[in-house]
Amino acid sequence: MSGHAAHDSNAPHVVPISTYMLVFLALMVGTALTTWVAYIDLGRWNTVAALTIAVVKMSLVVLFFMHVKYATGLTRIVILAGFFWLGIMITLSCSDELTRHWEIVPQGWQMILPLVSRLF
């Protein structure tokens, strides 16, 4: 409880329909854009572009459709924790899989780049 009764300012926020429509349009444009970009030869950057657009689209859904823009800090921490732990899983698993056949002696941080580039 811890004082939840007092603040009705915490009551759910009514999002204007125009906002929903803008978000919807942006998502549709994003879908078209990501499809279009895939047909252009950007080399490695195709992967980067596709995933960047996906992250932007996800953020729009989370912030507006799922009302996180108007939510408490607790909700945001919960979501960030989910992605943080996903990051742990991916990063540390890759730390094995990408360096397993690393025959050269690593010298300095720039050695990381060719490893990461194996992912895309």
Partner 1 sequence: MAAHSAHPPGFAHQFETVAQQREAGTLGMWVFLVTEILFFGGMFTSYIIYRSLHLHSFIQGSHELIVKFGATNTAVLIFSSLTMALAIRTAQVGKSKGQIIFWLILTMILGAAFIAIKLRYEWYRDYVEGLIPGVSWLDGGTHTPGVKMFMCFYFFMTGLHALHMVVGLGILTVLVIMTARNKFSSQYYAPLEISGLYWHFVDIVWIFLFPLLYLIGGRYPGS
Partner 2 sequence: MSTATADLHDAPAEPGVNYLNASYGIRSWLLTLDHKRIGLLYLAAITFMFLVGGVAAVMVRMHLIEPQGALFEPETYNKMFTTHGIMMVFFFLIPSIPATLGNFLIPLMIGARDVAFPKLNLMSWYVFMIGASLAVFGTLAGGVDTGWTFYPPYSAAYSHTNVAVVALGIFIAGFSSILTGLNFIVTIHKMRAPGMTWFRLPLFIWGMYATSLIFVLGTPVIAITIFLLGLERILHVGIFDPAVGGDPLLFQHLFWFYSHPAVYIMILPGMGVISELVTAFARKKIFGYSFVAFSSLSIAVISFVVWGHHMFVTGQSIYAGLVFSVLSYLVAIPSAVKVFNWTATLYRGSVSYEAPMLYALGFIGLFTIGGLTGLFLASLATDVHLNGTYFIVAHFHYVMVGGAVMAYLGGIHYWWPKITGRLYPDIWARIAAAIIFVGFNLTFFPQFMLGYLGMPRRYAVYPAEFQVLNVLSSAGASILGIGYVIPLVYLIWSMRYGPVASSNPWKAKGLEWTIPSPPPTENFAEIPIVTEDAYNYPVADAHAYPDAPGVARV
Contacts with partner 1 in 17-56 (CB under 8 A)? 17, 20-21, 23-24, 27-28, 31-32, 34-35, 37-43, 46-47, 50-51, 53-54
CB of 108 to partner 1, least distance (A): 22
Query: b/e string for 86-110 if b means 16 or more Cβ within 10 A?
Result: eeeeeeeeeeeebeeeeeeeeeeee
Contacts with partner 1 in 55-114 (CB under 8 A)? 57-58, 61-62, 64-66, 71, 74-75, 78-79, 81-83, 85-86, 89-90, 93-94, 97-98
With CA atoms as reference, report the closest residue to 46 among 55, 57, 35.
Answer: 35
Burial of 34 (0-12, 13-18, 19+ CB in 10 A): middle
Residues of the shown chain interacting with partner 2 in the complex, contacts defined by CB under 8 A: 1-4, 74, 81-82, 85, 88-89, 92-93, 95-100, 102, 106
